[in-house]
Amino acid sequence: MLAEAGSSGCDFERFVKQAKQLSGYYYKQRFGSALWQPSWHDRVLRRGDDRTAALRYVLENPLRSGLVTCLGDYPFIGSGVVSREALLASI
């Protein structure tokens, strides 16, 4: 997941917990197995960091984990800001 805070007062831990809970529930209902590992790791991107490389890393996780063999087959790639097609074209 790649997320951008809207303000300095954002509660990132709460956001991650809710995002994992909701998406994990949906995934388990649909596929019968867990989606997420028990914990998580965050990395803060700063000015000058390569956001495209970070996005590529995140988008390619389903391939590395063996969930799919073709990234376009992964049904959970999406964004509230960028279209699915634009995300896939960016890597």
pLDDT in tens, the chain (91 residues): 788 888 888 898 898 899 999 989 999 999 999 988 888 888 888 888 988 888 888 889 899 999 899 988 888 888 878 888 888 887 7
Report the C-alpha gap between 27 and 43 in whole angstroms: 24
Q: Terminal CA-to-CA distance of the chain, rounded, Å? A: 15
| DSSP classification of residue 76 | T
Stated pTM of the model = 0.64
Report the C-alpha gap between 70 and 61 in whole angstroms: 11
Report the C-alpha gap between 60 and 47 in whole angstroms: 23
**∠ CA 7-13-19, rounded to 5°:** 95
